[in-house]
Chains A and B, each alone.
Chain A
Amino acid sequence: MYLASVTRPAASGTATKIVAGNVVALGTVSLITDISSEMVSAVLPLYLVLSLQLSPLSYGLLDGIYTGATAILRIVGGFVADKFRHRKLVAGLGYGLSALAKLGLLLAGRSTGALGFVIATDRMGKGLRTAPRDALITLSTPEGALGRAFGVHRMMDSVGAFLGPLVAMAVLTVAAQSYDAVFVTSFCIAALGVVVLVLFVHDRRGTLAAQPIRLKDAARIPGLGKLALVAVLLGLATIGDGFLFLLLQKRDDLSLIWFPLLAVGTSLAYLVLATPIGALADRIGRVPVFLAGYAVLTVTYLLLASGASAWLILVLYGLFYACTDGILMALAGPVLPEHLRTTGIAVIQTGQAVAYLGSSVLFGLAWQTIGSTPAIFAAALTAVIALAATALVLRRFAATTPAVAAEDR
């Protein structure tokens, strides 16, 4: 079986079946965990600036330092999960680490070192859990329904992200502005997420590989290089949510009070569109939908430069996410051999994350040197080039690489 047939699965078969119980369980864990983490994200700047009176300029410096460490940890975590076939355990460690980080905020006080460590721990937890979680989704879902499965998962994830700030606001109001109360509540919610994971998510341990797997095996996964390239291209074409919202804010001179709502607009669109787009990808093929995502991104950039309605731009940006984020995983999953799937997914996600960081820095430089409008056009051009390159890579990919997980069906 070839990837070409992955992209054009039979219309019948799995289309009628709704997603697997394990996917719903993982989605529930993500939903609960995202409430917890977005609660903290929503109040952390307030806490650092107003309660601790830390200079946020120095907090900004804390931020970028651990990105590299997280990337390595993600790949190592993925490999360990594959080697010992304990995807659930590694994901659980990641969720647990992030939960503990919420308590760490209580203990860190005003020490920037301790705060940096706590924030890094939270990131590491996130880095550790995403690859085994996505691997479990692919291992729990028939290949033809992967788009829908990831769509449902990402929808549940976004619901949590949407609710988090609201819960934080409610806790702050009830607890007389106590940030500690927000952190404790966030920890309790995160712990509940871990409990749901432990009780309701089934590990897919599969059969033991004939030989113990080694890290260098990961380098030989057929097709992984090309999928990683696709992920890097995706990262490079994305200038970053922060920049997009900032450009909108500057362009329309939006009051900064509206700034947080821009992200809400995009996540609402993503939340609504994730499942139908995923299902659509299962029917008409994931590659066309993925490529359409680039077209949507290009249009989003062009509209941003042209002065079109902010809401239209936010909705299109959500659509871009729906066409690419989960779809990439649905595309990659069946191609990666089961015994190295977590490692493969970790490599792909790391490629995307690192390229995304690089792209943000490049866009910042472009903005600074050639101005915002030319920089947006440059980003649109990058998206078009990425579209063409991705089409090329996936076409040749389809012709040369056998997909391994065909027997799942």
Chain B
Amino acid sequence: MKFRIAALSLAAVLLAGIAVTYVWFARQAQPAPAAVSPVTLESGLLVVLNRRLAVIDGSGAARVSAVECVRVYAAAGTGVCLQPESPWAYHLSVLDSSLTTTKTLPLPGLPNRARVSASGRMVAWTTFVGGDSYASGGFSTRTGIIDTKEGTVISTLEDFAITREGKAYQNIDVNFWGVTFAADDDRFYATLGTDGKRYLVEGSVKSRTVRTIVSNVECPSLSPDETKVAFKQAVNADPQQGWRLSVLDLKTLAVTHTAETRSIDDQAAWLKPGTIAYTVRDSAGDPSVWTVSADGTGQPQLLAPGAESPATLGNHL
């Protein structure tokens, strides 16, 4: 018995030593918070840098704010930041141009996408929610919209009336993700996942309806002239095989693959007519922001190493 107690004690001390040492190194390895500088949502490229909201100017210099965000977007002086309270709980903050919080909303689940309409009035978010699915360990999404002018919150699009391939449609497995708004602050595009398929839908906030347009289009991002959407297309219509960053012509429904051949799991952002920006992850999950031409020509360009969640604030590049 004495031997066993001694052996156990030795093993416990050894293993605790390994754990404590690793935790200590992990703590040291964390980058020191960058110096906080005054940041406004007026011009430049809005990104997340080391989990902080940051703005990169034309020269490539980053100003990093004190605002912690997992995902950001902004337009016309309205920003949205999906913000951690703890590793398990997140909320959405609507920010004004000087990064003052004007509204917060607790979010269910883990942050995924965020968008603001061009006028700055409408805000949309998507989170991943655990347990909303048949198999335990399965996930589903939750997508909501805030009208900052009226102050109304649509906590889930799942209550909207769905028209699928011309017919009224209802199913408990319905999931929405990745909203992008049109300029009239009513019309929007998003992804509808149901029945094993993923559709591009066009919807109306006022009439609370969506209708499917085409399948295998995820995370749409409407071009400034509203004729195209950039999106991720599952390779062979199977998300397990990764996604190809592509552009859909809304009139002809023709799909153009961009020159980006890596698998991109992001909702892209239009930096200017003809150019889209998106986050690339390396094998360790570390991000960088790249751009590529929307017409399928050229090569992807690295825009901001270490950054993610790009959005243009205008007057950029």
A contact set with B: CB distance below 8 Å: 43, 45-46, 49-61, 63-64, 109-112, 169, 171-172, 174-178, 180-181, 184-185, 188-189, 191-192, 195-196, 199-200, 240-242, 245-246, 249, 255-257, 259-260, 360-361, 364, 367-368
Contact = CB atoms under 8 A, between A and B. Distances in A.
Interface residues of B, number: 55
Given A109-B284, A175-B26, A255-B106, 19 more contacts: A51-B285, A53-B287, A54-B265, A55-B265, A59-B139, A60-B133, A64-B135, A110-B284, A176-B26, A184-B18, A188-B16, A192-B12, A195-B8, A195-B15, A196-B8, A200-B8, A255-B108, A257-B89, A360-B134
- Lowest 4 A-B CB distances belong to which pairs? A256-B108, A178-B26, A56-B139, A60-B138
B260 to A, nearest CB: 16
A305 B70 CA distance: 38
User: Which among A58, A249, A367 has the highest number of chain B CB atoms within 10 Å?
Assistant: A58
A181 B23 CA distance: 5
25 contacts: A45-B110, A45-B130, A49-B128, A55-B239, A57-B139, A57-B141, A59-B137, A60-B135, A60-B139, A110-B283, A111-B283, A112-B240, A180-B26, A185-B23, A189-B19, A192-B11, A195-B7, A242-B136, A245-B131, A246-B132, A256-B129, A257-B108, A259-B108, A259-B130, A364-B134
A287 to B, nearest CB: 30
B134 A361 contact: yes
Nearest to B177: A57
B252 interface: no
A168 to B, nearest CB: 9
B30 interface: yes
B243 to A, nearest CB: 9
B173 interface: yes
A368 B173 contact: yes
A46 B110 CA distance: 7
A58 B87 contact: no
The prevalent SS among residues of A at the interface is helix
A176 B27 contact: yes
Given A178-B27, A256-B108, A110 B130 contact: no
Contacts of B175: 57
A105 to B, nearest CB: 12
Contacts of B27: 174-176, 178, 181
A148 B138 CA distance: 35
Contacts of A57: 139-141, 175, 193, 239
Given A246-B131, A368-B172, A46 B87 contact: yes
Contacts of B130: 45, 259
Nearest to B172: A368
A254 to B, nearest CB: 10
Contact of A367 (B70, B131, B141, B172): B172
